[in-house]
Structure 1
Amino acid sequence: MLAAMILNVVWIGFILVGFAVALAKLALGDLTVFARVMTGIFDTARTGFDISLGLVGVMSLWLGIMKIGEQAGVIGLFARAVAPFFRRLFPDIPAGHPAGGSIVMNFSANMLGLDNAATPLGLKAMRELQEINPDKTTASNPMIMFLVLNTAGITLIPSSVIAIRQSIAVEQGLVGFNAADIFLPTLIGTFISFAAGLLAVAAYQRINLLSAPVLLFFGGFIAAMAGLYGALHSYPPDQMAQITGLLGSGVIFSVIVLFVAVGALRRINVYEAFVEGAKDGFGVAIQIVPYLIAILVAISVFRSTGCMDYVVGAIGAAVGAVGLDTDFVPALPVGLMKTLSGSGARGLMIDVMKTYGVDSFEGKLAAIIQGSTETTFYVLAVYFGSVNIRRTRYALTCGLIADAVGVVGAIWVGYLFYR
């Protein structure tokens, strides 16, 4: 029961701890603390609604495209192509079920850093997994595996982080700065996070990973990372950004064209299929609103009262007390916040880069952490909320394991490459 209510406990904890800290600050003479908290609450509530409303168009687009792919049989082909690998990770998904294809598409979008495409595809996968879920209020094993791997956040091309670094480098007057130099470290960091999440869930679900399909996937992934780095690392930053942007948009648009072309060849009514799928976009996006606002408000209270600063300071003191290097501590808030809020972590990353320099160790480490981890609480709240799952079992535990190992792995990679 405790595991089932973990999100509820965390949410209450954020609110009550934040309130206690705010009272202490008020007693010490900080007369604006509650004004800051309330401003943050109202701002994040509005942000949660705006995010959900903004998803309506994208959700409608991708649910329509996926309906075309489903009726044209392309989704089934995707699912069959990766069946050996997914049979090992998702043994409870029936062979050829559309959820397998949606999961593949979601992972592909995540790998390319295309968040706008990944979210609606992930929500569609959750709806399809809910169809085969025997208990509609309890997370099934496939749901947990899917979401934990989602929170691990495999990213082949951290395009947004590269773009932000390049922009700040221009502000700081750095000439010839290679904003993409964190490319390979970030790939290694995100792979560590993914592997940790996979191993954690596999241990709970007693899945044997020592099989040819899984080992082939890991070997192929490592080879792909090495090949990408070897092919792209010599390009200057502007060309790197252009190539990664072309790769991402080209792949996604090619998928759209493929679905439409196959649908036309198989003589289905492509337009009607799109409209049928798109109709669900509004309902799914609006259903997310209360879950998203709830988690964002709790995070805002914890952040605006300074609790995050206290946590990081305590960690830095503990690390220093045992004689270890503490240079990574300024970048640590990015990893802690990324678990809670992607936009909050992005803001912290920018702050580190501007404070210490985009080319500093702290700045590079913040970028690696940002690209190597994912927003666990956001993903769990939104994805489970979209299908009305109340009992999440061990999903949060495994997601936090993936995040923690990912942050530690990113720090290790940062020291490996830059120290």
Structure 2
Amino acid sequence: MVLSRFWLVIFISSIVFVIFSLFSGSSYTIDHVLNGKKDDPILISEKYIDQIPAFIKDSINKSQEKTFVINRDTLNADTTYVYKNKTVKIFSGVQKSDGLLPTCKSTLLDLILPLMAYLAFFCGLMELLIISGASEKLAKGLSPVFVKVFPSIPKNHPSISYMTLNFAANFLGLDSAATPFGLKAMESLQELNTDKDRASDAQIMFLCLHASGLTLIATSIIGYRAAANASNPADVMLPCIITSFIGTIAAFLIVGIKQKINFKSASLVITLMVLIAAIVGLLMYVNHLDLIGKNYFTANLSALILVGIIVFTLIFSFIKEKKFTEANTTVYESFVAGANNGVKTGVTIFPYVLGMLVAISLFRNSGLFEIISNWVAFAFSNMGVSKEITDALPVALLRPFSSAGSRGFLIDSMNTFGADSMTGRLSSIFQCSAESTFYVIAVYFGSVNIKNTRYALGTMLIVDLICVITAIFVASWFF
């Protein structure tokens, strides 16, 4: 219910603001909201050639392409005059994201189809893990901890192994593998859910922990920083880990208090201490490496782990081939059956993702997001927050809505202020400290047709806020 109302508010308010801007004269056309593409120039006016300044008119007439560009502001896009069909069209600024119709197309072609491919492959591997018995062994080994965090899940339940693989993939920055494992976990948890339209406690706990985004190897962030000529692209790794770890702990505590989980359990305390020790150990190892060593380590660890999972699954399935025979199937046929289920899952979640991304597209292109972000930045600046921090806030504000959109702000902030600036580094920490909340909710709850998300959205947004505040303190401490 909360998600539905939030979606309606974003959608309707954006449309109302677009129409108001058109009739108030703030916008010349709203076509870009429907048909424009990201980074396209925005049409702001159209005049007859006699109505424009003489020097621009002369420049247009002399130009073979009948265009004239004014470098009015080095921080914004150039203003372009295009003479065509007896009128001069004036463009200035660029579109922040794809319009409504291009978003519909790109959601299918650039997001859902690749996601379906990942789902098909990894769901095929999951089927092998299930039939071979590997997932059962993993669940049995982790049950003592998971039954404390997820008291409603029976011991040795398959969902435990799926959630473990999801957390591990997230931890190592394996986004392509994390989503299929996570969706499989949601499907398994849905089997235990007595009210199929309402999110269970276990599903909320899992999704909030997943969305907190605990990551050890932020390979994509390091890549963006390297492309922006950062002196040490991996210098934000430790701040990213600290921020996401605090976000994960916050998610666990908030949901745990709501669900009355026993935090004094010895198994929980031991597991938490082991996890902290492992993170500290890896950080100490990475910290003593030189720049080339860090780049080599971060580039290969995640890939090696993923290859290791694939190899282990195939070898274990070969060793346990008798179990496939007993199930009246083969290893290859089981993989194909699992892949087919992955494709069906991709088809199921498509409408949920489409609805959310279209609303976000309208929100950004309407200009509402820019106004809100400016208000927030103004409020922070009046509270004494430095401009270096307020300049990075658009990344934090957009991150819950769109990973691609916040990534665009990240790259822009590094290009504008420098990758090694406080703004560039803080933007990087914002980008890697949490998941895209609304996308995650749309995909994961949509995959099992959950309509009532209960307190999941509110909790995830609170965790997002905690990550933002933590990132600011951590960045100020380190840099």
The TM tier, using the shorter chain, reads over 0.9
Single out whichever of 45-54 and 282-291 deviates more from structure 2: 45-54
3-state secondary structure, aligned to 1:327: helix
Q: 1:205 aligns with which of 259, 263, 275?
A: 259
Question: Aligned AA for 1:35?
Answer: D
**CA deviations over 1:9-57 (Å, ceiling 9, x no partner):** 1111111221232234224424445122113111221122121122222
**CA deviations over 1:287-334 (Å, ceiling 9, x no partner):** 111101100000111111122222222122222333343431111111
Identify the residue that residue 209 of structure 2 maps to in structure 1: 149
Identify the residue that residue 104 of structure 2 maps to in structure 1: 45
Identify the residue that residue 408 of structure 1 maps to in structure 2: 469
Identify the residue that residue 114 of structure 2 maps to in structure 1: 54
Give the Cα–Cα distance (whole angstroms) in 2 for the partners of residues 404 and 287 of structure 1: 30
Structure 2: gaps spanning 5 or more residues: 36-98, 325-329
Identify the residue that residue 16 of structure 1 maps to in structure 2: 12
Deviation of the 1:270 alpha carbon: 1.8
**CA deviations over 1:168-221 (Å, ceiling 9, x no partner):** 11xxxx6xx110000100000001111111111112111122222222232223
Single out whichever of 236-245 and 189-198 deviates more from structure 2: 236-245
Identify the residue that residue 189 of structure 1 maps to in structure 2: 243
Q: As a proportion of its length, which structure holds more strand? A: 2
Q: As a proportion of its length, which structure holds more helix? A: 1
Summarize the Cα distance change of 1:238–1:33 in structure 2 as closer, same or farther, 3 Å threshold. Answer: farther
Aligned pairs for 1:379-390 (under 5 A) are 379-390=440-451
Q: 1:333 aligns with which of 394, 407, 413?
A: 394
Q: Quick check: 1:25–1:33 contact (8 Å CA) kept in 2?
A: no
Give the Cα–Cα distance (whole angstroms) in 2 for the partners of residues 359 and 247 of structure 1: 25
Aligned pairs for 1:43-192 (under 5 A) are 43-50=102-109, 51-169=111-229, 177-192=231-246
Q: Quick check: 1:178–1:236 contact (8 Å CA) kept in 2?
A: no
Identify the residue that residue 305 of structure 2 maps to in structure 1: 251
Deviation of the 1:243 alpha carbon: 1.8
Single out whichever of 158-167 and 227-236 deviates more from structure 2: 227-236
Q: Quick check: 1:346–1:370 contact (8 Å CA) kept in 2?
A: yes
Deviation of the 1:158 alpha carbon: 0.6
Q: 1:36 aligns with which of 28, 32, 35?
A: 32
Give the Cα–Cα distance (whole angstroms) in 2 for the partners of residues 32 and 386 of structure 1: 40
Summarize the Cα distance change of 1:20–1:92 in structure 2 as closer, same or farther, 3 Å threshold. Answer: same
Q: Quick check: 2:381–2:390 contact (8 Å CA) kept in 1?
A: no
Question: Aligned AA for 2:193?
Answer: N
Deviation of the 1:265 alpha carbon: 1.5
Give the Cα–Cα distance (whole angstroms) in 1 for the partners of residues 243 and 157 of structure 2: 32
Identify the residue that residue 318 of structure 2 maps to in structure 1: 264
Question: Aligned AA for 1:347?
Answer: G
Matched residue pairs, number? 408
- Calculate the TM-score normalised by the size of structure 2: 0.82
Q: Quick check: 2:124–2:339 contact (8 Å CA) kept in 1?
A: yes
Q: Which has the larger radius of gyration?
A: 2
Identify the residue that residue 40 of structure 2 maps to in structure 1: none
Question: Aligned AA for 1:48?
Answer: T
Question: Aligned AA for 2:270?
Answer: L
Which structure ranks higher in relative contact order (CA pairs < 8 Å, sequence separation ≥ 6)? 1
Q: 2:427 aligns with which of 340, 347, 366?
A: 366
Give the Cα–Cα distance (whole angstroms) in 1 for the partners of residues 26 and 375 of structure 2: 22
Question: Aligned AA for 1:46?
Answer: K
Give the Cα–Cα distance (whole angstroms) in 1 for the partners of residues 9 and 291 of structure 2: 43
Question: Aligned AA for 1:132?
Answer: L
**CA deviations over 1:126-152 (Å, ceiling 9, x no partner):** 111111111111111111111111110
Q: Quick check: 2:377–2:393 contact (8 Å CA) kept in 1?
A: no
**CA deviations over 1:256-280 (Å, ceiling 9, x no partner):** 2112222221223322221221121
- Calculate the TM-score normalised by the size of structure 1: 0.94
Question: Aligned AA for 1:357?
Answer: G
Identify the residue that residue 92 of structure 2 maps to in structure 1: none
Structure 1: gaps spanning 5 or more residues: none
Q: Quick check: 1:113–1:158 contact (8 Å CA) kept in 2?
A: yes
Aligned pairs for 1:231-380 (under 5 A) are 231-267=285-321, 268=324, 269-380=330-441
Q: Percent identity?
A: 38
Single out whichever of 102-111 and 11-20 deviates more from structure 2: 11-20
Single out whichever of 209-218 and 11-20 deviates more from structure 2: 209-218
Deviation of the 1:100 alpha carbon: 0.5
Q: Quick check: 1:33–1:305 contact (8 Å CA) kept in 2?
A: no
Q: Quick check: 1:56–1:282 contact (8 Å CA) kept in 2?
A: yes
Q: Quick check: 2:240–2:429 contact (8 Å CA) kept in 1?
A: yes
Q: CA RMSD in A?
A: 1.5
Give the Cα–Cα distance (whole angstroms) in 1 for the partners of residues 407 and 15 of structure 2: 25
Deviation of the 1:238 alpha carbon: 4.3
Deviation of the 1:407 alpha carbon: 1.2
Q: 1:25 aligns with which of 5, 21, 37?
A: 21
Single out whichever of 23-32 and 385-394 deviates more from structure 2: 23-32
